[in-house]
Amino acid sequence: MAASEQSLVTNTNIPEYEYIGINTKPFHVGSLRDEWLKRLKPKDYSYQQEDKETFEANFAEAMGIREETMAELKSVCSLDSLRCHAEDEQPDTEVVPPGSTLKTLMQRKKRQEYKASLKVPKNRHDLYADELERLIVSRTPKTERDLIPEGEVILTINVYYPAVFDKFNYIRPHMTLLMTGSHNLNELREAICCISDLQVCGEFSRTPDMAPDFICKDHFKSAFFFFEGVFYNDMRFPECQDISITTVDWAKSHNFPPFTQAKMEDTQLQDLKLKVGFPYLYCHQGDCEHLIIITDVRLVNKYDCLDKKLYPLLTHKHRVLTQKCAVCHLFIARWFTTSDQFAPSDPCLFCDKCFRMLHYDADGKKLGEFSAYPYVDRGAFN
């Protein structure tokens, strides 16, 4: 084996699979970026667009073909040669032509017929979700100051539902984010949407009109990420606590390999040592635990969104069905009650209108005995 090939194999900055098709071995994100920049030429990751003549010349040189062959390829592979309709006819791109033999068109036709059989109108969320990724392709900032520097690394991050969402038969990501290596972990935390952050503490059956002073995210600010044996705690505020210390002390008392700790706000993504495809942990609100999986690490290119103000960039968000009122089955639930003699079940969900009509008189006085708690629907982020 040549010395250069051996150095590539033994270089720990270059990720290789630990389990084929599942996850890599641990590597340092910033070191991987440095290895890329060391091996690539500046033109390979530059934002500058090649002019048409230069592109064709470089393509012909790379393919080892002559100028006449290149001209023939341009003619045969042009868009005009792919037209299956009259030149003056404007086709409907949503309609699959009858008798299509192309596999992709056959699959598309099958999918269209299946959706038509469901007879479910496409809602605005589906329309929005389909456009999330397309809207940001090649988007550039208005000022040079907001341009992501060339050679920056981009991470694709899947954030999964917390463990309490056990109704799903298979694991699916709640949201997918794109973040640069210069982002801090606390910026990743702020980008994660979780319904437990919006919950309101307290029982309000006697004072339903009293607005709560805070939501859980404002009051319980402690949280941590766990990557490769390191707990990254959020310590930005005086009321933040190190909620990972219990696990650290437990590991010490049971002779486990020691865990280390660091501050979330002082750690950039490019400082992390991690495995691509491996599940890591984000914990907040005491015991609300999310899986975090880094699915891709790459250099930014000219076709990415280059406006750093738009990052963390949301490219996918799963839609969750909303919980309707148990009485009218029309409006989204705003309250849930327990030990309620007026409710068909215990606990029970009510919209605000049905809740007040059933449980209070015309003067707003409480009827009967029950406990009422504000309910934030899990579809709030749709």
Q: Are 173 and 317 in contact (CB under 8 A)?
A: no
Which of 239, 245, 278, 282 is CA-nearest to residue 260?
245
| Bond preceding residue 347 cis, omega within 30 of 0 | yes
pLDDT at 8 over 50: no
Domain match, 221 and 141 both: yes
Q: Are 180 and 269 in contact (CB under 8 A)?
A: yes
Q: Which residues, at least 6 apart from 246, have a Cβ–Cβ distance to it below 8 Å?
A: none
**Structural domain range at position 284:** 129-317
Q: Is residue 82 part of a domain?
A: no
Q: Is residue 224 part of a domain?
A: yes
Domain match, 232 and 360 both: no
Domain match, 287 and 299 both: yes
Q: What is the mean pLDDT of residues 88-113?
A: 83
Domain match, 173 and 304 both: yes
Whole-Å CA distances, 379 to 151, 194, 195, 278: 38, 10, 8, 28
Domain match, 191 and 223 both: yes
Q: Is residue 159 part of a domain?
A: yes
CA 275 to chain centre: 18
- Give pLDDT, residue 127: 52
Span 348-376, pLDDT tens digits: 999 999 999 999 988 888 988 899 998 88
Q: How far apart are CA 15 and CA 37, in angstroms?
A: 15
pTM as predicted: 0.77
Domain match, 313 and 332 both: no
- Give pLDDT, residue 5: 44
The confidence band for 280, taking pLDDT boundaries of 50, 70 and 90, is: very high
Q: Is residue 81 part of a domain?
A: no
Q: Are 188 and 312 in contact (CB under 8 A)?
A: yes
Domain match, 305 and 216 both: yes
Q: Is residue 206 part of a domain?
A: yes
The total domain count for the chain is 4
- The last residue of one of the domains, among 317, 340, 356, is 317
Q: Which of 7-11, 178-182, 260-264 has the lowest mean pLDDT?
A: 7-11
Q: What is the mean pLDDT of residues 80-106?
A: 78
Q: Dump the DSSP string for 62-104.
A: HHT--HHHHHHHHHHTSGGGG--S-TT----TTSPPTT---HH
Q: Is residue 17 part of a domain?
A: yes
Q: Is residue 124 part of a domain?
A: no
Domain match, 101 and 231 both: no
Domain match, 148 and 286 both: yes
Q: Would you give the DSSP letter of residue 191?
A: H
Domain match, 150 and 255 both: yes
Q: Is residue 382 part of a domain?
A: yes
pLDDT at 245 over 60: yes
Domain match, 19 and 72 both: yes
Domain match, 167 and 283 both: yes
Q: Which of 40-49, 146-155, 324-333 has the lowest mean pLDDT?
A: 40-49
- The last residue of one of the domains, among 317, 336, 353, is 317
pLDDT at 250 over 60: yes
- Give pLDDT, residue 355: 92
